[in-house]
Amino acid sequence: MPPVTPSQTIGPFWHPLADPALADLTRFGAAGPRITLAGQVLDGDGAPVTDACVELWQASPSGAAAPAFPGWGRCATDSLGEYAFTTLAPDPTAPYAAIAVLARGLVKPLWTRVYLIAGDAPGDALLASLSPARRATLIARPGDAGAWRWDLRMQGDAETVFLDL
């Protein structure tokens, strides 16, 4: 079987995408409450995007030793368009992570945020600037035992808010 090769929009660094360890931001022994952020990347018709790359960038939570917490992870979507990260619970003063989505047809990453909060983040300028329906596209739903669910919609109804950077 020939080796997997990247699409030009994600390459030339395909090899790290195939490493599932990159989806675990605690892999170097970071201490603190662990959480899982999982979801699905969906296209405008609600179909799964099975060849996307989701990157997560997160500030080090209070008390996390910098070398043990890289603050960055990368995960490929699977055959159902699903991704999952293991990370530390964010600091309440910055309860979000930056997200970059790369996929076929995109010439540059789409940037957004995911908020890991129950309710609103008072004083957050980005959330305050959005209508309640648009704001909801950035807020993950808490589940059991530190699990959070957040789906990304690339376009269409309930499209995720993407940032113009």
- What is the three-class DSSP state of 21? helix
CA 95 to CA 141: how far, in whole Å? 13
State yes or no: pLDDT of 64 exceeds 80: no
State yes or no: pLDDT of 121 exceeds 80: no
Please say whether the beta carbons of 114 and 140 come within 8 A: yes
Handedness of CA 41, 46, 49, 50 (dihedral sign): positive
Q: Give Cα separations from 64 to 33, 72, 96, 146 (angstroms).
A: 10, 14, 16, 17
CA 68 to CA 142: how far, in whole Å? 25
Residues 78-108: tens digit of each pLDDT: 999 999 999 999 988 889 999 999 988 888 8
What's the N-to-C CA distance of the chain in angstroms?
39
- Token pair 């530190």 is found at 146
State yes or no: pLDDT of 10 exceeds 70: no
- What is the three-class DSSP state of 147? strand
Give the pLDDT score at 11: 52
Mean pLDDT of 27-41: 94
Classify residue 139 by its DSSP letter.
Answer: B
Token pair recorded at residue 116? 């890991």
Torsion angle of the four alpha carbons 147, 150, 151, 152, in this order, in degrees rounded to the nearest 10: -140
Mean pLDDT of the chain: 87
The C-alpha angle with vertex 132 and arms to 128 and 134, in degrees rounded to 5, equals: 90
DSSP secondary structure letters along 37-95: EEEEEE-TTS-B-TT-EEEEE-PPPTT--GGG--SEEEEE--TTSEEEEEEEPPPTTS-
Please say whether the beta carbons of 37 and 140 come within 8 A: yes
Comparison of pLDDT for 148 and 107, the residue scoring more: 148
